[in-house]
Amino acid sequence: MTATKHNNLLHLNIENGVANITLDNAPVNVLSASLIKALRHLLDELSNNNDIKVIVFDSANPDFFISHVDINILEEQNILDELIKAAPDGLNIFQAVGEMLREQPQLTIVKLKGIARGGGAEFIAAADMCFASLEKGKLAQCEALMGIIPGGGATQYLSSKMTRGRALEIILGADLFDAATAEQYGWINRALPDTEIDIFVDQLAHHIADLPEGVIKTTKKVLPPVRNAEGFKSENDGWATLAFSPGTAEIMKKAMENGAQTVVGELKLEELLRSLM
Amino acid sequence: MTATKHNNLLHLNIENGVANITLDNAPVNVLSASLIKALRHLLDELSNNNDIKVIVFDSANPDFFISHVDINILEEQNILDELIKAAPDGLNIFQAVGEMLREQPQLTIVKLKGIARGGGAEFIAAADMCFASLEKGKLAQCEALMGIIPGGGATQYLSSKMTRGRALEIILGADLFDAATAEQYGWINRALPDTEIDIFVDQLAHHIADLPEGVIKTTKKVLPPVRNAEGFKSENDGWATLAFSPGTAEIMKKAMENGAQTVVGELKLEELLRSLM
Amino acid sequence: MTATKHNNLLHLNIENGVANITLDNAPVNVLSASLIKALRHLLDELSNNNDIKVIVFDSANPDFFISHVDINILEEQNILDELIKAAPDGLNIFQAVGEMLREQPQLTIVKLKGIARGGGAEFIAAADMCFASLEKGKLAQCEALMGIIPGGGATQYLSSKMTRGRALEIILGADLFDAATAEQYGWINRALPDTEIDIFVDQLAHHIADLPEGVIKTTKKVLPPVRNAEGFKSENDGWATLAFSPGTAEIMKKAMENGAQTVVGELKLEELLRSLM
């Protein structure tokens, strides 16, 4: 096994065709521009490595997988400019994160043992599979509480996974969903007892990595992720209209002043955001 | 809070952006032409009220949400003529009920604590969300037992929510489904314990109504209800061919003679209809 | 009730509009060319019988519904040639089995009380409905362990029933799924306690067979099975590329030498195939 660090934000371990990528952006694993950049570089590198068959994502933080997009992302303007240039035509930089995952030649699996909100939940929805700890895995599209709608693919990914009524409940209810309900809604593959999830995901990843040559590639080709260009445009237009309004800027500012992006604040982010209304 | 009555069939209560509409068409809440007319007028009125963000539907009857379309609907010919004129091109008057709901600018939620069959189950499937009492919520597309197929959108709505095999089971099995199975099949959002459903739906409705301006509208725009014109035409053609056959008229007549549209008869409608075969 | 035998592989019982077809191809009910031929002849015959409304499939073997396509299928070259000629344009002979089922005018139900893998699981996915014994029903797409992908419609049927993530898990994880998970994923209609499944399916089948004339036909017309010609072509291309590789032939040969197509070997086929890697 080899272990390397990337940009101080990602740990990489490779073993028998399975690459494990551990996200590590303390204190709450925000999806910052730097983290997106580090992910993009590492995934690019792995996409040229034919020996890697499966990528498993997890988190170094026991409480958070990815809390959400960094509220201070505009402070990394140089990196943002790079990411904007790198985004495929017709996708904003957040949608480009999910679509990057979906185009990865390897099979991608998220092992979810903490909270994933906003862009973190979109990351999960874009991955090929997700298994969550029954006790600790939690997901939310919390954007509505910030005055916006999800802008990184959630409207498209959720619509492909569940009924419209459930997607509306997730986006407009904006609550933190436990893993059992996420399983029920088709948001994730399955919720598994916390004592079993490591062994389950490890075994599944290695079983898949051990498959005879060509099977993964052929299966992914026959079951391609479908990108509805109009849907992504509609999502981005809706998101952008709300995201750049003064009301949203005000909510973001108040959220930061009241504990957003700290461990304590993020553990009860819905309460925090609702208290600002 | 304001409370008003509409046409003696609907109670309206408005509180902090949430309109609660209670259906009250004793003895079993049949979907009569008068009830459809009252709903259409009230929903039209609310659609111009920007202060109302969410509409919650429930029933004054503990046993029935909407039993089904009134078997005697032809006796209200004048109102039927009005409704036919008001129906959008390409939709019959029952399909127009569901599509009216789906075009409502507010978010619509059904709180289901009794039985909903036929046109009542279609009403639920057309609403943006439905939460049902685990113990008391029940749904059925009972049309097959009357010699017809659903004609108010169920074939389209069910197909968008669940597998074809489950839609076939609901339509051809024609049994009364409990809320847990309805949740499992994706027919409703969730089944909740009867002791919790009022608080859950009330809180969800108010959370959504309290969202910053523009979020509901933008979300509904990005996740639009899709209307397959050919599907609705195919459903209507299939329904009409069977509905106006002598066999169906005979079943309806016998059903009325044997207790349909009374509380006792409707509590076990499947048994009643099967006993006529 | 009448009971007849077809080609020694199928038992047929007809009672009040319900045809029960019991598969009986000892020792493990492989889907051989002879069995496909017998099924095709019997289904053709039934399709012209207007008195039969519902077809229920089950198995004479308590452990296996259909184990999978016969690994020795090439030894029945004459029958294969016949089947190739009979397959609709654009479908391979395995895809033609599922599509034959889907075009059957009767409503088709599988009662699953044992294991169904590969082509057997595809048979189930193609039927209108499937109910499985909670304790004994098991499904797998095990093709990946043989170095191939499913080639008889599974990629298309699974994609229409569940999320892409779950279809990928089934195809690439290649494990045996219990009935409760299959229900959760939408692979089958429902998992029912083994003590209840016979009565449930029998009652459902007869309830449907007893429906007034025209209801089944109209419902199946309004909810047609959709065949995506490109999807079937893509599946066949992917399957064929892998199926005719030397690696796959080698796996098949070793599998036969190590107990495939015997009761003991098939009960733990995943273990057997993984031990060969």
Helix (H) or strand (E) holding A112: strand A107-112
A 10 A CB-CB count for B54 gives 26
Using CA atoms, how far apart are residues A167 and B170, in angstroms rounded to an integer? 23
**Model pLDDT for residues C143-183, shown as the tens digit of each residue:** 999 999 999 999 999 999 999 999 999 999 999 999 999 99
Residue C19 β-bridge partners: C14, C55
Q: Write the CATH number for A252.
A: 3.90.226.10
Is the pLDDT confidence value at A266 over 90?
yes
Mean pLDDT for the stretch of residues A18-45 = 97
CB contact at 8 A, C108 and C57: yes
Q: Given A184, A216, A225, which is nearest C172 (Cβ)?
A: A216
Task: Give the mean pLDDT of chain C.
Answer: 96
Note whether C225 contacts B164, CB cutoff 8 Å.
yes
Distance of CA C20 to the CA centre of its chain: 15
pLDDT of residue C48: 94
pLDDT of residue B237: 97
Structurally, chain C folds into a number of domains equal to: 1
Within 8 A of C218 by CB-CB distance, chain B residues are 149, 238-239, 241-242
Q: CA of C108: which chain B residue's CA is closest?
A: B165
Within 8 A of A107 by CB-CB distance, chain C residues are 168, 172
pLDDT of residue B5: 73
Mean pLDDT for the stretch of residues C41-69 = 97
Is the pLDDT confidence value at A108 over 80?
yes
Q: Given C128, C161, C162, which is nearest B168 (Cβ)?
A: C128
Mean pLDDT for the stretch of residues C74-94 = 95
> Residue B142 is part of which domain span?
2-276
Using CA atoms, how far apart are residues C61 and C83, in angstroms rounded to an integer? 25
Q: B26 to chain A nearest CA, in Å?
A: 29
C171 interfaces chain A, CB cutoff of 8 Å: yes
A251 interfaces chain B, CB cutoff of 8 Å: yes
B172 interfaces chain C, CB cutoff of 8 Å: yes
Is the pLDDT confidence value at A228 over 70?
yes
Q: CA of A184: which chain C residue's CA is closest?
A: C184
**Model pLDDT for residues B118-137, shown as the tens digit of each residue:** 999 999 999 999 999 999 99
**Model pLDDT for residues A179-214, shown as the tens digit of each residue:** 999 999 999 999 999 999 999 999 999 999 999 999
Q: At B8, which amino acid appears?
A: N
Q: B3 to chain C nearest CA, in Å?
A: 42
- In order, the DSSP letters of chain C are -EEEEETTTEEEEEETTEEEEEE--TTTT-B-HHHHHHHHHHHHHHHT-TT--EEEEEESSSSEEE--B-TTGGGGHHHHHHHHHHSPTT--HHHHHHHHHHH-SSEEEEEE-SEEETHHHHHHHHSSEEEEETTT-EEE--GGGGTS---SSHHHHHHHHS-HHHHHIIIII-PPEEHHHHHHHTSSSEEE-HHHHHHHHHHHHHHHHTSPTTHHHHHHHHSPPP--HHHHHHHHHHHHHHHTSHHHHHHHHHHHHTTTTSHHHHHTHHHHHHHT-
Contacts of residue C80, defined as CB under 8 A and 6 or more positions apart, other chains included, come to C33, C73, C74, C93
pLDDT of residue A5: 73
ipTM of the complex: 0.97
Q: Given B147, B165, B167, which is nearest C212 (Cβ)?
A: B147
Question: b vs e for B165-180, b when ≥16 Cβ sit within 10 Å of the residue's Cβ?
Answer: bbbbbbbbbbbbbbbe
Q: At B49, which amino acid appears?
A: N
pLDDT in tens, chain B (277 residues): 456 777 789 999 999 999 999 999 999 999 999 999 999 999 999 999 999 999 999 999 999 999 999 999 999 999 999 999 999 999 999 999 999 999 999 999 999 999 999 999 999 999 999 999 999 999 999 999 999 999 999 999 999 999 999 999 999 999 999 999 999 999 999 999 999 999 999 999 999 999 999 999 999 999 999 999 999 999 999 999 999 999 999 999 999 999 999 999 999 999 999 999 8
Q: Is B23 helix (H, G, I), strand (E, B) or coil?
A: strand
pLDDT of residue A6: 74
Within 8 A of A162 by CB-CB distance, chain C residues are 163
pLDDT confidence band for C2 (50 / 70 / 90): low
Out of A2-16, A110-124, B226-240, C128-142, least confident range: A2-16
Within 8 A of A269 by CB-CB distance, chain B residues are none
pLDDT of residue B67: 97
Is the pLDDT confidence value at A2 over 70?
no
C145 interfaces chain A, CB cutoff of 8 Å: yes
Mean pLDDT for the stretch of residues A23-52 = 97
Mean pLDDT for the stretch of residues C184-189 = 98
